[in-house]
Amino acid sequence: MDAVRILDSEQWRPLAEDHATRARRLTAAHLERRRRGVKHPLEDFLFDYYGFRPAQLARWQPGPGIGLREASDLAGRRFYATVDGVTSLDLDAFRAARGRALDWALRILTATDAAEPQFACFGLHEWAMVYRQSPDQARHQVIGLRATPEEIARVVEGHEIRCSHWDAFRFFTPDARPRNVLQPDAEAQASFEQPGCLHGGAMDLYRWAFKLDPGVPGDLLLDAFELARRARVLDMRSSPYDVRPFRLTNIAIETADGKAEHVAEQRSIADAAALLRRRLIAVLDALT
């Protein structure tokens, strides 16, 4: 038994119910749009690209070191075991199945946390993803562009692009890839990540939290989801896409004022991400 704290039913059930309520609030608009067949390229991204379903998000997990009494609904789930009426994570089974992912996540997160944050990217990765393309080649066809191909080319060619995140860089157009000062790759990801990055520094906290489900506590998963959504909104507001139809304002990063606005919000997100990252690292340490 790995549990170091045991909760009775009247202690843990309200936590599970509050979690489910919060998850429903966070996903209600997405589920309603899905029911009506309406796309939302900003918020749908968190479900379509990452592939973690709203129902999974709503399922509370206690995390490592917590034992639950009268938890028959959890007892039948994978990676849980019940001993003497107390249900908790079976850490041996979890490590056996998820050990490689756990080690990789810890390596990425600790390296990111130790790196110096950089705030001079200005969201230019989204511009590099449509550089030298026609509008009908853009990745997000549900949302229109606010800039012409010529304007996008001027922005890309007029800035130094320093994208450090492999999962963004791999979507650069062939003409844009050589323009990136850095050349990140998947195998060396830990040496490139830095905490100022909206993707590697903030949005990927959600990626690691759900990839290591059910090892991550439910409140941490939802906190990471909310921060990922906030980062995604900034990502698209600073992009060449027109977000006004979604009741948002674009940030014109091609101007000095726009750059300042982007960096201020990016720094705020990075500060919030640093706290979440350290919470997540502590949980993953406990899982190991």
Per-residue pLDDT, 116: 95
Per-residue pLDDT, 38: 85
The rounded distance, in Å, linking the Cα atoms of 45 and 33 is: 13
66-69 sheet: strands from edge to edge: 5-7, 66-69, 86-89, 80-83
Candidates 209, 212, 213, 236; CA nearest to 224 is 209
Amino acid at 241: Y
Per-residue pLDDT, 143: 82
Tens digits of residue pLDDT in 185-204: 988 999 999 999 999 999 99
> Are the beta carbons of 243 and 250 closer than 8 angstroms?
yes
Rounded to a whole number, what is the largest CA-CA distance in the chain? 69
pLDDT in tens, the chain (288 residues): 455 899 999 999 999 999 999 999 999 998 998 899 888 878 888 888 887 789 999 999 999 999 999 998 888 889 999 999 999 999 999 999 999 999 999 999 999 999 999 999 999 999 999 999 877 776 666 688 999 999 999 999 999 999 999 999 999 999 999 999 999 998 899 999 999 999 999 999 999 999 999 999 999 999 999 999 999 999 999 999 999 998 999 999 999 999 999 999 999 999 999 999 999 999 999 998
Q: Would strands 86-89 and 66-69 be described as parallel, antiparallel, or unpaired?
A: antiparallel
Per-residue pLDDT, 14: 97
Tens digits of residue pLDDT in 228-267: 999 999 999 999 999 999 899 999 999 999 999 999 999 9
Per-residue pLDDT, 138: 62
Per-residue pLDDT, 40: 82
Per-residue pLDDT, 139: 67
Count Cβ atoms within 10 A of the Cβ of residue 8 and give its class: 0-12 exposed, 13-18 middle, 19 or more buried: exposed
- pTM confidence score: 0.93
The rounded distance, in Å, linking the Cα atoms of 208 and 232 is: 16
Helix runs in the chain, H state only = 9-36, 45-48, 54-57, 72-75, 91-114, 124-128, 149-157, 166-169, 189-192, 204-211, 218-237, 256-287
Per-residue pLDDT, 44: 84
Per-residue pLDDT, 42: 80
